Structure 1
Amino acid sequence: MDFKLVSSYKPQGDQASAIQALTRGIFDREQHQVLLGVTGSGKTFTMAKVIEALNRPALVMAHNKTLAAQLYHEFKSFFPHNAVEYFVSYYDYYQPEAYVPAADLYIEKESTINDELDKLRLSATRSLFERRDALIVASVSCIYGLGSPEAYYGMMLFLEKGQKIKREDITRKLVDILYERTNGDFRRGTFRVRGDVIEVFPTYDDMAYRIELWGDQVEALSQIDPLFGTVKQKYARLPIYPKTHYVMKEETRASAVDSIKKELAWWEVELEKQGRLVEAQRIHQRTMFDLEMIKAMGFCHGIENYSRHFTGRLPGEPPPTLLDYFPRDYLMFIDESHQTVPQLHGMHAGDRSRKEVLVEYGFRLPSALDNRPLTFAEFEHRTNQLVYVSATPGPYELTKSAGVVIEQIIRPTGLIDPPVEIRPVKGQIDDLLHEIRERVAKGERVLVTTLTKRMAEDLAEYYAEVGVKCRYMHSEIETLERVKILRDLRKGEFDVLIGINLLREGLDLPEVSLVAILDADKEGFLRSAGSLIQTIGRCARHLNGRAILYADRMTDSMKRAIDETSRRRAIQTAYNEEHGITPESIVRPLDMTLAAIVAADYADLTASESEGMPEFKSQEEVDAYIAKLESDMREAAKRFEFEKAAKLRDTIKE
């Protein structure tokens, strides 16, 4: 099926020339292109038109889950009949394994997997196997190791109507690809057998499959509603993919166990030669326990650290990732590239430094170092043709494109870049309070950027005391909670959002009419020309958008940012006058379905749960209380109330 863009929009302003230039560049086999698009100029629509014109599988990469979720919704609305998928880390909570030698403190890996995000990841790889019209919106987690596409596809169960196959062979194969047989709770990743009917609930779909047999022959294949059992559609043939990306044949598992034993024997000798007997004993005990678990259960805690052995890779060889699931001719768009590219650069080094300590002190074998994200060079090797999209492209992108930039400066709505005003630092808090009250009276929103987390928190506390509804947001706020904070800002639950550098790229907040940048004259990463342009652009979607920079002197970065903003204002103003356009604010519906996945994550504990620990008269009462807490914790996790589940877990530990 071809990509078919559904939209009432038509390319306007310089969108048409940008679409044409990008498409021509890809047809001319340009490896690297840069799209410099200002906030509100319709960059997502431009990307969608290019994808439609070229009709190839595409990967759109963003630097965080929040931006990826926003892009996913936009592309989903543009391509309702095509396979638009979402691929981000499936962890709601993740504490990586680590060791702190100075304190002799070992921190075990702890994580909570979001079942819905896991389903979306599996759905993404299925679409890549089955369709050419696949568009995957991913975060940078797509360069982390994933199961081998050859092993995953090779373990697939493929059924056809009229096929000769025994019921026992089907159930055995389902168990081999890690599905669990059940007679009760029919959920994702399980199957049930009723006479000659087998029903399978795949992990990558909301619907289940029914396989009807007549003797040893497949009589019918259908998709069913898992709750009511009603048939949705019939199939002539049906592929059933493994339950997870990490699946392997029995012989692969056996050879991996032998390979791990050989590495263990070698590493023990190496540690003993260095006189590190405690570390040698530790790695022996831990690895042998893991091997027993793998032989008995097929997996162990932290099995990903042995991934090199399971995939048969050589030491140092890159792991398979989502990029390996794409065909050779795929397109890649890197959104907000000035942020995403540096992230891709740094991920491997950060991961390796943590694991080297674990290996050195006998917590992991050296092969654990190969359970890693791709290096930047490996990432580059796996790309085909790239388009870097940003309002402020970085030096890497400009170098790769030989300085050639395709500009998209004109906004179809006629909105002009916000005017920038510089005010003195003295009295900035009270001056800003006056501006905030003016905006709030009109039902508008305000963004404020500070230089430190402490200042963001103190400022939020001060403004709250004087009656301003405000929240703060910085890197310690969990990624998924940010989706909810931004949604609440748009809904009007509060009026002012205070942050550091999280308010910059790609956040679609049309209700914001004022951006205030405190201490704008403090040179550094957070006050570079690019950062200032991005931050100022957050209010460019509002007709009354305005930016105030509090500074006592004009820095080079401020001058470059103001000059670039003025240049863009002049281009847009001239276009508006030539075409008789009256600027109007962007109206964006509050449609953030993915936010619903985590909406329940922030439920408060009930009064009874937060009152503290009850008094116990016997050990039996303690055991009964812990059992109840464990049951409540599991139920909370099922309902995606992970904050509540975490608090219950901490209570159990106490």
Structure 2
Amino acid sequence: MRALISELERLPGFAAVQQRLEQDSVQRITGLVGGARGALAAQLFGRLRRTILVVTPSTRRAEAWFDDLHALVRTETDDLAPPLRLFPSLPTLLYSDVTADRELIGQRLDTMEALLRGEPIVVVASLSALLHRTIPPRSLAGTDLDLAVGQDLQPEALIQHLGELGYVEHDPVIMPGQCVQRGGIVDLYPVTAPQPIRIEFWGDEIESIRYFDVNSQRSTLPQERFTVTVSRESLWNQALGAQASNQIAQAVEQHAGQLESAGRTMQAKRLRARVTADLEKLEHEVAFPTSDHYLPFLYQEVTTLFDYLPNNALVVVDSPEAPSPVATTERRVASWILASRSRTWTVARLDCSLSALISLATTENPRPCSPARAASMAAFRPRRFVCSAMSSTEPVSSAIACACSARSAIVSATDSAFARAASTVASVEVIDSAPARASSSTSSEDSATCRARCAFCSEVCATWVTVA
């Protein structure tokens, strides 16, 4: 792979891009298809040694970038893990009752921890992952717990510290974010580790640290030292918890009053009971799976991954400029349906009126060969096809109309996400197209408008596929 990157570095286009990026300018690159996009990012990372954030329009696109970069950014000095992180999006909503996957939270926390350490890494994230708010850097910094063989530490003190980091006691340990003490042994499943670890004590001294298998409970790889990170994206302490609890109680009473005014008394009682139970746990600083739902009350500022990027970070925006044939066809069909919708209803009403007049002109029991029967059948046949066409086009036209109405919201979301990083970091916009040769030039088109257009095309295309 290094030989491939070396060959790409000889191209004059790569040298021009690197020179302009050193001047903190915005570049727009076209002509890159397939793995050439990852090769460009790997080449820039190897030469500049700066943190690179790759922004993709979808999760599937982010995973494709991550697979391409996994072998390209590795060097001889790297250990088993290359300087590459995938920052996933959480599939659950912030206020949903469903708990987010702990492994996904571990990947997000591992990425933020690496950025706080100042390591130059390549981060791949989708747009939805960047829009999800998280813990501020000031609250996450300095929360790591370092463990080493021979360290003086009581098992009870370790369990108490793990509770402050958001770990929940559970016997046996089977999922990330759990811990348990059994005599002089503490089992812990860090959210950033591939397997749980077992810490054995000899009195108040750590005797060994080993990974162990969840199914067989047998120890595997020994470790001389290990760093434990937080297990969730919100940390509660006594000072912050008191202020947040008052705000939560006021918000609950406000929403419960609105529910009671609307006649939804049972929903208001369930809301009060659920939040009251959560507040009791929060006041005692007891971690529970859905504590991240109260993150907006704990941290007033809105924090995303952009707040963890260094000032010299490079942002690579994967922007597929050329729409797919399905999206192009969909836009044409949508415009045709919206334009002809009123005319379709006009023809239908006229057909119903004509059929009613013809029905009055016919006899009650016409003969098979009479002119009145022939006129009735001639009017009934086209009416049947018009009604069938109306019933089939109505769901499609309604769904496309909803997608068109959501365009302004998509544009606003994409603009706000990228405007925060535009003033502090350099940017590269990679356009997925296939011209005759690769070229690089200063962007003459507003990149935010291009990203909004691409997001809108993806949204409308997804709606069309769902309806079809």
TM-score band, normalised by shorter chain = 0.5 to 0.7
CA RMSD of aligned residues (A): 4.4
- Mapping of residues 483-562 of structure 1, within 5 Å: none
- Radius of gyration: which is bigger? 2
Distance across 2 between alignment mates of 1:384 and 1:452: 28
Gaps of 5+ in 1: 1-5, 98-108, 341-345, 353-371, 402-450, 454-472, 479-498, 501-654
- Which residue in the other structure is 2:334 paired with? none
- Which residue in the other structure is 1:592 paired with? none
AA matched with 2:193: D
AA matched with 2:430: V
Distance across 1 between alignment mates of 2:44 and 2:176: 36
Between the two structures, name the one with larger relative contact order (CA 8 Å, sep ≥ 6).
2
The structure 2 residue matched to 1:375, chosen from 416, 422, 428, is 416
- Which residue in the other structure is 1:200 paired with? 188
TM-score normalised to structure 2 length: 0.63
- 1:243 deviates by 1.4
Is the contact between residue 241 and residue 298 of structure 2 (CA under 8 Å) also seen in structure 1?
Answer: yes
Distance across 2 between alignment mates of 1:283 and 1:257: 21
Identity within the alignment, %:
17
Is the contact between residue 105 and residue 233 of structure 2 (CA under 8 Å) also seen in structure 1?
Answer: no
Change (3 A) 1:351 1:282: farther
AA matched with 1:134: I
Structure 2 residue 53 is the aligned partner of structure 1 residue 59: yes
Structure 2 residue 178 is the aligned partner of structure 1 residue 132: no
- 1:334 deviates by 0.8
**3-state SS of paired residue (2:172):** coil
AA matched with 1:69: E
- Mapping of residues 357-436 of structure 1, within 5 Å: 375-376=416-417, 379-380=420-421, 383-391=424-432, 397-399=443-445
AA matched with 1:296: E
Superposed CA deviations along residues 488-521 of structure 1, whole A, max 9, x for unmatched, are xxxxxxxxxxx99xxxxxxxxxxxxxxxxxxxxx
- 1:68 deviates by 0.8
- 1:202 deviates by 1.0
Distance across 2 between alignment mates of 1:113 and 1:263: 24
Change (3 A) 1:244 1:197: same
The structure 1 residue matched to 2:305, chosen from 309, 322, 340, is 322
- Which residue in the other structure is 1:235 paired with? 224
- Which residue in the other structure is 2:33 paired with? 39
Change (3 A) 1:329 1:114: same
Change (3 A) 1:190 1:88: same
Is the contact between residue 90 and residue 115 of structure 1 (CA under 8 Å) also seen in structure 2?
Answer: no
Change (3 A) 1:140 1:376: closer
Is the contact between residue 143 and residue 323 of structure 1 (CA under 8 Å) also seen in structure 2?
Answer: no
- Which residue in the other structure is 1:296 paired with? 280
Looking at secondary structure, tell me which structure has more helix per residue: 2
Distance across 1 between alignment mates of 2:288 and 2:200: 35
Change (3 A) 1:240 1:41: closer
Distance across 2 between alignment mates of 1:374 and 1:163: 50
**3-state SS of paired residue (2:62):** helix
Distance across 2 between alignment mates of 1:215 and 1:339: 66
- 1:391 deviates by 3.8
Distance across 2 between alignment mates of 1:339 and 1:256: 47
Distance across 1 between alignment mates of 2:94 and 2:205: 48
Change (3 A) 1:474 1:54: same
AA matched with 1:55: R
- Which residue in the other structure is 1:335 paired with? 318
- 1:138 deviates by 0.8
Q: What is the count of residue pairs matched by the alignment?
A: 359
- 1:247 deviates by 2.7
- 1:34 deviates by 1.6
AA matched with 2:275: L
AA matched with 1:125: M
Superposed CA deviations along residues 248-296 of structure 1, whole A, max 9, x for unmatched, are 2243222201123345667899x79xxx943898997566345313223
Is the contact between residue 57 and residue 126 of structure 2 (CA under 8 Å) also seen in structure 1?
Answer: yes
TM-score normalised to structure 1 length: 0.47
Distance across 2 between alignment mates of 1:374 and 1:112: 29
Is the contact between residue 161 and residue 221 of structure 1 (CA under 8 Å) also seen in structure 2?
Answer: yes
- 1:474 deviates by 4.4
Distance across 2 between alignment mates of 1:242 and 1:347: 38
- Which residue in the other structure is 2:66 paired with? 72
Is the contact between residue 201 and residue 207 of structure 1 (CA under 8 Å) also seen in structure 2?
Answer: yes
**3-state SS of paired residue (1:146):** coil
Structure 2 residue 18 is the aligned partner of structure 1 residue 23: yes
The structure 2 residue matched to 1:244, chosen from 226, 232, 240, is 232
- 1:41 deviates by 7.8
Distance across 2 between alignment mates of 1:31 and 1:130: 26
**3-state SS of paired residue (1:212):** strand
Change (3 A) 1:183 1:261: closer
- 1:60 deviates by 0.8
- 1:228 deviates by 5.4
Distance across 2 between alignment mates of 1:279 and 1:320: 37
Change (3 A) 1:267 1:42: closer
Distance across 2 between alignment mates of 1:351 and 1:283: 35
Distance across 1 between alignment mates of 2:316 and 2:417: 16
Change (3 A) 1:13 1:50: closer
Structure 2 residue 303 is the aligned partner of structure 1 residue 308: no
AA matched with 1:139: S
**3-state SS of paired residue (2:27):** strand
Distance across 1 between alignment mates of 2:160 and 2:322: 47
**3-state SS of paired residue (2:296):** helix
AA matched with 1:144: H
- Mapping of residues 77-476 of structure 1, within 5 Å: 77-80=71-74, 81=78, 82-91=82-91, 94=92, 109=96, 113-114=100-101, 116-130=103-117, 132-141=119-128, 142-226=130-214, 227=216, 229-236=218-225, 238-262=226-250, 277-278=261-262, 288-298=272-282, 306-311=294-299, 313=300, 317=301, 319-336=302-319, 338=321, 349=409, 375-376=416-417, 379-380=420-421, 383-391=424-432, 397-399=443-445, 474-475=462-463
Change (3 A) 1:348 1:248: farther
Distance across 2 between alignment mates of 1:174 and 1:240: 9
- 1:322 deviates by 1.8
Change (3 A) 1:351 1:385: closer
**3-state SS of paired residue (1:59):** strand
Change (3 A) 1:217 1:41: closer
- Which residue in the other structure is 2:332 paired with? none
Gaps of 5+ in 2: 324-405, 434-438, 448-457
